[in-house]
Copies of this chain bind each other. A is one copy, B any other.
């Protein structure tokens, strides 16, 4: 379902994390859907269970999934998640604008033809 890119400089666990964030935010995975088991996903991505475990732990901390002991991991509702992601992206946008301003680049030069 998701793919690893070994050329990508991001660590493997972050790629897994980002991949599933997207699947959940896009609604491909819906509330209470079962996540692949840690071992199964590790096999599928030819990586180590500990690496998948790290990604899942992070997804749980961020509220994307929840764990039922002995059963597996499930997708949380994506109610606030989209809003949080929106704020995250807005912050990235602001950061770019600030960098431009600091260098005296006009908003127009920066955004022309893009926005």
A: residues with CB less than 8 A from B are 6-7, 9, 11-12, 22, 25-26, 66-71, 74, 76, 82, 85-86, 89-90, 92-94, 96-97, 99-100, 102-105, 107, 109-111, 114-115
Contacts and interface: CB of A to CB of B under 8 A. Distances in A.
B110 A69 contact: no
A102 to B, nearest CB: 7
Nearest to A85: B103
A89 B100 contact: yes
Contacts of A76: 7
A99 B26 CA distance: 11
B114 A90 contact: yes
B69 A93 contact: no
